[in-house]
Amino acid sequence: MGGTAIRERRGMARKALSQSADVSERYLAQLEAGEGNVSVRNECSRPIALMFMDVGDQRVVSAELAPGARFTSDAVWGQTSGFIFTACPVGSRPSVRFALENKETIGVSLYNCVVGRPTS
């Protein structure tokens, strides 16, 4: 399920979501179409562990992001589309298995971070 379908299923207009996320509607449309470059800043007081998975070949790449640091999907992952990713504090993992079978759950962040090593 794509970003547009998820947003619409939740009853959110693109304009409302772009305003609440403080991004332009155009950028949000690019992200929903799988064309935008995801950029995130770690606002946490401790490092976070990122895991990316290519939805085609299921290759997984991991990276750590220090507090205050920013990453872009193309810089860390080398791609701007065709992937899923998670972010949890270092030393934690998603409460669901990081696998394509959980793509929707991971894609809309319907998981908790629990202490332990990542499973993929």
**CB proximity list for 3: less than 8 A, separation 6 or greater:** 31, 32, 33, 34
Residue by residue, pLDDT tens for the chain (120 residues) are 555 666 777 787 888 877 777 778 887 777 777 666 777 788 889 999 888 888 888 888 888 889 998 887 777 666 667 778 888 899 988 898 998 898 888 877 778 889 876 555
d(CA 26, CA 9) in angstroms, rounded, equals: 20
Does the predicted TM-score (pTM) go above 0.75?
no
**Could you state, in order of their start, the residue ranges of all structural domains in the chain?**
1-36, 38-120
